Structures are given as structure tokens and as C-alpha cells.
């Protein structure tokens, strides 16, 4: 029995509002299928998803579970192209509101169809109310309410039509969340393959997100617990003077170099108008680039050339080696003369073969 109007209105409003809190498609289907039974009693409800590929595929969920309907699903898949309501949606492009069979065809014509005689008649279904939930060229999702005896009333049609846009929006919302999760997972996988730690900073200079390598560096160099969202004091003290400057400034502070048991950790700030990131690079202590002294370079010059050849800038090389960028520039002038090259690109190319055997050191 349908509830009195005021109580029905409150219950239905709560039912519709809860749709927008769901984040999982299984939970959404369960909420819709079971919840509607409180407002529109049926023998069973069915949620069907039809994929229009070379061979159309039909997936269905029944509530309550109907073994007979499930066993006849291949029959439905074979004949669903003649479903009068689905055919009406395709031909007219009109999907709004709830439909019954007799809205789009005569009962006599429908009962002549194989779909009715091979699927609905064996199930004893005499009345159906259907609403489209997602209509795309490649996919159709709809909800069907099924009864054996009593026809659907106008009030029940209105209720099902009213819930349609709520379910539609909930489906779209869940779809967007799913796509965002896939994108984020792909991004995290890509980032974790890089030999670099990345930290995204919040407006309050806290860690809003960090990849696995960055968490490892925080733990190794500062014993910072992986679940913490606070920056280590040394990083915060290095960062704050820059953050307090005019926000229009695009000048980042010189890289922060931290000594630790594994080697050196170089922290750089990458700032945009709206986003700020910390990039963390670990420099193993054992890299001395001794092999490059064969070019007539001092040990220090060999180290400068080694890091330049691995793509480091003058500022990054200076931070790694604990010198100023101007000193790096002076070393490069001497290196170019010793190698007989004109620039850093030619220098890097000339020594790549020497660095390759120890590139994983």
C-alpha cells in the first residue's frame, strides 16, 4: 500500500537525496531497485544494461532475484530489438518520463511478438513500467518495473518519472568519479616510475599529496611518518621565506640540499600561479665520476661534467656539489676547452659512452 501523501513525499525526497551520496555503481543499483519497492510495489524490478556492439549484449540485475528471468535472459537478448519502448526511444529520441507498453503500441500488436511470447508470457508479466537512465549510441541503461496482475497507476508513473533525473545524475557522477580514479591511478603509476619524489603542497604549506618515492625520502632523511601531512622543519624553514614574498614572483629559492646516510637529497620548488610542488632528487654519495678525469679534468671538474651530462642545470649541479652556480659556470668553461666542444650539449654527448656503464650506480 502506498503511504499517505505527506509521508510519501518526505520518504521519497529522502530516497532521491540519498542517490546523490552514493559513490559506487553497485550501491546505486541496490538503492534504486530495493528502494523503489517501498513506493511502487512490483513482482520484481530489473536493471538492464545493453551494449550496442557488433553483437549486442544484455546484462541484467533482478530485485528480488528472479531465477526464471535470469535463465531467460538469452531469449530477451535475442529479441530485445523489438521491445516497443526501446524501439520508440531509438526512433523518436525522446527518453523523458516513464513508459508502459501501451504508450507506444497496442497490446494486441505487442502480444503477437516473439519477445512477449518467449520472454514475458512465460514469466507471467502482464504490465511493465520502464524508464531510461542513460541513453548513448553505444549503450542503453534502463529500469523496468514488472507486475503480473494490477496495472500501474498514474501516481506510480509520476513517481518513476520523478526519480529518473536523480538516477541519471547519480550515474553520471559515479562515472566521472570512476574516470577520475582511473586517471589518478595512471598518473600515480607513471609518477612512481620516475626516479623522483613529488610533493603537492596545500595553501597552508602542508603535504596534500605525495608519491611513494617522496614518502620514502621523507622517512629516510627526516624520519617523517608516511601518514603525516606536515613538512619537516628544515624544508618548511627553507620554503617559508619564499612563500612570504610577493605571490607574483616566479623566482624559486635555490635548491635545498640535505645530507643523509644514502647520499644527498636535493629539494626544489616548482611554483605556478595556482599550484606548488616540491621535487625531490636523491644523489648517491658514491657518484664521483672518476672516469671523466681521463679527459684531463680535475676531480671537481669531472663531477661537474658528470652531473651536467645527466641533465642537471647549473643551479642543480651547484646544489649537489655545494658550490655556487657561478663556480659551476667557471668550471664548464675549463671543461669545454679540455673536451674541445662549444657547449654543454656537445660535452654531454661526448662523455655519454663513458658514463653508461656506471649510470645505475
What's the number of domains the chain is made of?
Answer: 3
Residue 294: CATH number of its domain: 1.10.10.10
Range of the domain at 327: 290-358
Residue for grid cell 497496442: 106
Residue for grid cell 520523478: 162
Residues 205, 306: one domain?
no
| Residue 189 counted as domain residue | no
Residues 152, 207: one domain?
no
Give residues with Cβ within 8 angstroms of 61, minimum separation 6. 29, 33, 46, 47
- Using an 8 Å Cβ cutoff, are 120 and 130 in contact? no
Angle at 310 between CA 305 and CA 312, to 5 degrees: 80
Residue 210: CATH number of its domain: 3.30.450
- Domain end: 262, 284, 306, which one? 284
| Residue 215 counted as domain residue | yes
| Residue 177 counted as domain residue | yes
Residue 96: CATH number of its domain: 3.30.450.80
Per-residue pLDDT of the chain (361 residues; tens, 9 = 90+): 444 556 777 888 899 999 999 889 999 999 999 999 999 999 999 999 998 877 778 999 999 999 999 999 999 999 988 899 988 998 888 889 999 999 999 999 999 999 999 999 999 999 999 999 998 888 899 999 999 999 999 999 999 999 999 999 999 999 888 888 887 777 777 666 667 899 999 888 899 888 888 998 999 899 877 667 889 999 999 988 876 654 544 456 889 988 887 778 999 998 876 778 899 988 766 567 888 888 999 999 998 998 888 888 888 788 778 788 899 999 999 999 999 999 999 998 988 877 765 434 3
**DSSP 8-state symbol, 130:** E
Q: Provide the whole-model pTM.
A: 0.58
Residues 323, 297: one domain?
yes
Alpha helices by DSSP H, 223-313:
233-243, 299-309
Count Cα atoms within 13 angstroms, Cβ side, for 6: 0
Cβ neighbours around 237 below 10 Å, total? 11
Residues 266, 296: one domain?
no
| Residue 188 counted as domain residue | no
Residues 318, 226: one domain?
no
Amino acid at each position: 500500500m502506498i503511504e499517505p501523501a505527506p509521508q510519501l513525499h518526505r520518504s521519497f525526497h529522502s530516497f532521491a537525496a540519498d542517490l546523490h551520496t552514493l559513490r559506487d555503481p553497485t550501491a546505486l543499483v541496490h538503492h534504486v531497485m530495493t528502494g523503489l519497492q517501498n513506493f511502487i510495489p512490483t513482482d520484481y524490478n530489473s536493471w538492464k544494461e545493453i551494449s550496442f556492439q557488433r553483437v549486442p549484449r544484455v546484462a541484467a540485475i533482478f530485485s528480488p532475484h528472479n531465477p526464471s528471468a535470469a535463465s531467460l535472459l538469452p531469449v530477451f537478448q535475442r529479441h530485445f530489438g523489438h521491445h516497443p519502448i526501446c524501439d520508440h526511444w531509438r526512433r523518436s529520441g525522446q527518453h523523458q518520463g516513464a513508459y508502459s507498453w501501451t504508450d507506444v503500441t497496442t497490446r494486441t500488436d505487442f502480444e503477437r511478438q516473439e519477445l512477449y511470447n518467449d520472454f514475458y508470457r512465460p514469466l507471467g508479466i502482464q504490465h511493465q513500467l520502464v524508464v531510461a537512465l542513460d541513453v548513448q549510441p553505444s549503450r542503453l541503461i534502463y529500469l523496468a518495473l514488472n507486475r503480473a496482475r494490477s496495472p500501474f497507476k498514474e501516481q506510480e508513473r509520476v513517481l518513476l518519472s520523478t526519480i529518473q533525473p536523480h538516477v541519471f545524475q547519480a550515474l553520471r557522477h559515479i562515472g566521472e568519479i570512476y574516470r577520475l580514479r582511473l586517471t589518478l591511478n595512471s598518473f600515480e603509476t607513471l609518477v612512481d616510475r620516475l626516479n623522483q619524489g613529488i610533493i603537492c603542497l596545500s595553501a597552508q604549506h602542508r603535504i596534500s599529496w605525495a608519491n611513494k618515492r617522496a614518502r620514502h625520502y621523507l622517512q629516510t632523511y627526516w624520519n617523517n611518518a608516511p601518514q603525516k601531512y606536515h613538512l619537516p622543519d628544515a624544508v618548511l624553514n627553507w620554503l617559508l621565506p619564499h612563500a612570504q614574498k610577493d605571490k607574483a614572483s616566479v623566482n624559486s629559492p635555490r635548491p635545498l640540499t640535505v645530507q643523509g646516510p644514502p647520499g644527498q637529497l636535493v629539494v626544489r620548488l616548482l611554483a605556478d600561479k595556482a599550484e606548488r610542488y616540491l621535487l625531490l632528487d636523491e644523489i648517491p654519495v658514491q657518484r664521483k665520476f672518476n672516469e671523466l678525469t681521463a679527459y684531463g679534468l680535475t676531480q671537481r671538474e669531472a663531477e661537474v661534467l658528470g652531473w651536467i651530462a645527466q641533465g642537471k642545470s647549473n643551479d642543480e649541479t651547484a646544489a649537489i656539489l655545494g658550490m655556487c652556480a657561478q663556480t659551476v659556470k667557471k668550471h664548464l668553461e675549463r671543461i669545454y676547452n679540455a673536451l674541445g666542444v662549444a657547449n654543454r650539449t656537445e660535452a654531454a654527448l661526448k662523455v655519454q659512452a663513458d658514463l653508461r656503464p656506471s649510470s645505475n650506480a
